[in-house]
Amino acid sequence: MSALNDVPVECTIALGSTTLPIKQILKLSRGATIPLDCDEDDPTLIFINGQLIAKGQILVDDEKMLLEITDLVKRAR
């Protein structure tokens, strides 16, 4: 077993983003909707430890949500 197998990494899947004033955030309640800066055809971004590594597409299979990786992002050197 490799020592790397137990190293934790943070994986973030970003559908989109927005900027809201704190006043509006404090008024949010269950069922509130927050508009994002993307369209349904825009790629989903995959970050590992804050670094963009790939882009993908959300798929729905019955009641499960899946992420299909469509493009690996080349790292700047």
Interval 17-27: pLDDT, tens: 999 999 999 99
pTM, two decimal places: 0.75
Looking at the predicted structure, is the pLDDT value of residue 70 above 80? Answer: yes
Q: For residue 64, what are its two tokens?
A: 């499960």
Domain residue ranges of the chain, discontinuous segments joined by +: 11-72
Residue 42 pLDDT: 93
- CA 33-36-67 angle, 5° bins: 100
Q: Report, at the CATH architecture level, how domain 11-72 is classified.
A: Roll (2.30)
Instruction: Give the DSSP letter string of 23-75.
Output: HHHHT--TT-----S--TTSPEEEEETTEEEEEEEEEEETTEEEEEEEEEPPP
